[in-house]
C-alpha cells in the first residue's frame, strides 16, 4: 500500500471536527464552550471579571477576552483553555478588533474616550487615539487599511488610518452606535444604532451613509427595538441584526436592504456569530441567559441553549 493512502483513508473516515463556540458570561465571570454540531454545552471556564467582547487570533491559537472589570484584555491559550497572560488594555475594555496583521489589537476604552492599540506579541501599547465619548464598537477592514470605532455619546463612526494610527475622518450616524461590520469586499460598512433603532449602510470610499434600515415588529413597542450585533453572510445574501430587548433577530436582504423576517430568540439578544460554515448563527441572549441557534438556510430558530448569566460575546473556532 502506498504510504499516502492510509493517512488519506483515515482522514476520510474521521468525522468532521465540530466547531466550538465560546460565549462570555458577563455576570458569572466565565466562558461557556458549546459544541455546534451536537448543540450541547461542553464546559465552563473561569476567566477575569465581567468578560464581554471576545475574539480569536486569526490562527485560532489564542482567544482574547475583554475582562472589563479587571481592566485587562486576557489571553486564553485555546489548546489548554488556560489564561496565559494579560495585555495592557487601558480602562474598562468592552469591544475590540484584531487587525488582519494578527498582532495589532484595537481596544475601545469606554471611560477614557480613547482607542488603545496593543501589540499582542510584544504586549505593549503601540498607540492611543482620542475618539468620541464612550467608544464602543470596533472593526478592521479586510484589507487592513481602516479601523472604525463607534462612540456611543458622540454618535459617530471614527475612521482610523491603520498605517499611521491617526483619526482621519468621522461619520455622523443615528443615536448610540454600538457595532460596526465590514462587508467581505470591504467596500461597505453596516453600523447599528441602539437608541436610534436603525442600521446605517456606509460607503467606505465616500464615508457617507447611503442607506438607513428601520425595523418594525408587530406587537413590540418601537423603543424596545435596539439594534446591536450585526453579521453578514459571506455570499452577500443576508445580514442578521440583533434587536436587543425586542428579543428578535432581523433578517435583512443584504442587496436590497429590505427586512425579510424577524426571528424570535431569547431575551435581550446582543451579539451574533456564525458557525459550521455559516450554516448556523448563534445569538447571545443576555437577560434569559441562553444562546439561540438559527439555521441560516431555513431562517428558523432551531434551538436555545442555557449558558451562564448574562451572556455577552460569542466567538467560534472551526
Residues that bind another protein in the complex, under the rule CB under 8 A: 217-220, 224, 246-247, 264-267, 288, 290, 292-293, 301-304
Report the residue number, 177 or 227, with the smaller CB distance to another protein. Answer: 227
- Euclidean distance between CA atoms 278 and 232, whole angstroms: 10
Q: Is 128 exposed, middle or buried (0-12, 13-18, 19+ CB in 10 A)?
A: middle
Q: Is residue 72 within 8 Å of residue 64, measured between CB atoms? A: no
Which one, 25 or 247, has the nearer CB to another protein? 247
Shortest distance, CB of residue 136 to another protein, whole angstroms?
25
Minimum distance from residue 296 beta carbon to another protein (Å): 15
Q: Look up residue 6 and give its three cell numbers.
A: 492510509
**Closer to another protein by Cβ: residue 157 or 291:** 291
Whole-angstrom distance, CA of residue 248 vs CA of residue 234: 22
Based on CB atoms, which residue is closest to another protein, 94 or 290? 290
Shortest reach from residue 12's CB to another protein, in Å? 31
Q: Whole-number minimum distance, CB 247 to another protein, in Å?
A: 5
| Contact predicate 252/260, CB 8 Å | yes
Surface-to-core class of residue 203, CB atoms within 10 Å of its CB (0-12 exposed, 13-18 middle, 19+ buried): middle
Residue 154 or 304: the one with the smaller Cβ distance to another protein is 304
Closest approach of Cβ 301 to another protein, in Å? 5
Residue 53 C-beta: closest distance to another protein, Å: 25
Report in angstroms how near the CB of residue 142 gets to another protein at its nearest. 33
Between 207 and 267, CB nearer to another protein = 267
Q: Are 291 and 276 within 8 A, CB to CB?
A: no
Nearer of residues 139 and 294 to another protein, judged by Cβ: 294
Amino acid at each position: 500500500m502506498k504510504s499516502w493512502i492510509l493517512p488519506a483513508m483515515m482522514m476520510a473516515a474521521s468525522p468532521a471536527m465540530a466547531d466550538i463556540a465560546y460565549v462570555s458570561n458577563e455576570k458569572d465571570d466565565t466562558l461557556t464552550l458549546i459544541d455546534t454540531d451536537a448543540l450541547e454545552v461542553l464546559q465552563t471556564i473561569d476567566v477575569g471579571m465581567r468578560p464581554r467582547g471576545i475574539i480569536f487570533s486569526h490562527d485560532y491559537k489564542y482567544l482574547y477576552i475583554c475582562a472589563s472589570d479587571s481592566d485587562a484584555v486576557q489571553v486564553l491559550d485555546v489548546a489548554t483553555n488556560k489564561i496565559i497572560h494579560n495585555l495592557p488594555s487601558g480602562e474598562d475594555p468592552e469591544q475590540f478588533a484584531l487587525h488582519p496583521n494578527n498582532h495589532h489589537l484595537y481596544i475601545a476604552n469606554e471611560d477614557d474616550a480613547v482607542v488603545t492599540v496593543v501589540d499582542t506579541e510584544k504586549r505593549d501599547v503601540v498607540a492611543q487615539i482620542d475618539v468620541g465619548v464612550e467608544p464602543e464598537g470596533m472593526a478592521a477592514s479586510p484589507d487592513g487599511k481602516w479601523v472604525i470605532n463607534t462612540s456611543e455619546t458622540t454618535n459617530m463612526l471614527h475612521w482610523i488610518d491603520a498605517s499611521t494610527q491617526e483619526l482621519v475622518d468621522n461619520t455622523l450616524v443615528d443615536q448610540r452606535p454600538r457595532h460596526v461590520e465590514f462587508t467581505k469586499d470591504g467596500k461597505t460598512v453596516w453600523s447599528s444604532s441602539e437608541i436610534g433603532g436603525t442600521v446605517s449602510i456606509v460607503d467606505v470610499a465616500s464615508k457617507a451613509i447611503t442607506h438607513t434600515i428601520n425595523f418594525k415588529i408587530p406587537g413590540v413597542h418601537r423603543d424596545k427595538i435596539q439594534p446591536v450585533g450585526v453579521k453578514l453572510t459571506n455570499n452577500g445574501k443576508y445580514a442578521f441584526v440583533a434587536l436587543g430587548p425586542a428579543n428578535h433577530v432581523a433578517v435583512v436582504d443584504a442587496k436590497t436592504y429590505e427586512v425579510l423576517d424577524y426571528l424570535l430568540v431569547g431575551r435581550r439578544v446582543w451579539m451574533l456569530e456564525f458557525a459550521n460554515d455559516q450554516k448556523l448563527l448563534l445569538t447571545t441572549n443576555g437577560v434569559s441567559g441562553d444562546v439561540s441557534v438559527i439555521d441560516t438556510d431555513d431562517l428558523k430558530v432551531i434551538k436555545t441553549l442555557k449558558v451562564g448569566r448574562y451572556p455577552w460575546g460569542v466567538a467560534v473556532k472551526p
